[in-house]
Amino acid sequence: MKILVIRLTSMGDVILTTPLFSFLKIRYPDSSITFITDPAYEELFSGDPRLVKVIAFRKNGTIDDSLLKTEWDLVIDLQNNHRSAF
């Protein structure tokens, strides 16, 4: 199962996503979780064993085509704004 989690800004809110990763790994043990966040927070998650990939997304940045072409089984948009909806 391919899961995408999006939380771009607000350091406290970004850090509060960490329990979600544990929940997802318990609920979907064979899942591959990718996390998109602001470049300022990328390093906080770079060694997290629950994540297969951490993607730094810059404001006004572009998204890698492979990310857009991936068929995600579950997308969790914790940002819930026009940037993350893109």
Using DSSP, state whether 31 is helix, strand or coil.
Answer: coil
What's the pLDDT tens digit per position in 30-78?
999 999 999 999 999 999 999 999 999 887 766 667 777 899 999 999 9
Give the CATH class of 2-85. alpha beta
State the Cα–Cα distance between residues 25 and 18, nearest whole angstrom.
11
Residue 85 has pLDDT above 70, yes or no: no
Domain ranges of the chain: 2-85
